[in-house]
Structure 1
């Protein structure tokens, strides 16, 4: 199978996805716990659990990006080991 994206794009997508998963998971947990810094103000959302559910959906999407880009990166590694010529 041939990779769809370049190796640099695949590995940078992996790194960005990992950071996004960590940061969004932390924010989701804080919203779920109704942390006062996030839901305590006048303009802040009142229902932290609903916001947390939306943030966790974004985490699932980034996990999908992580799997796809990781597989693309592994395809590049496998292709380079077989001696393929990169143009």
Structure 2
């Protein structure tokens, strides 16, 4: 009886872990970077402590009015947005 209960408990934990990992909104919406942080206090501390920081992906969106008012390239194509490049 005790072994059966522990098996069910392990199964429930595994299902919870799998569903919570797959339920993340967008795993590709950014990346981690190592950045130099502030100097750690103390005589034996390293000069700069590296920190792992989540950097969200930059979404390049421009307003249509702003895009129209930007300068055009020599070929006549708009040089402001990727959608206008030829």
- Scaled by the length of structure 1, what TM-score is found? 0.31
Rg: which structure is higher? 2
Q: Of Structure 1 and Structure 2, which has the larger fraction of its residues in strand? A: 2
Q: Of Structure 1 and Structure 2, which has the larger fraction of its residues in helix? A: 1
- Where relative contact order (Cα < 8 A, 6+ residues apart) is larger, the structure is 1
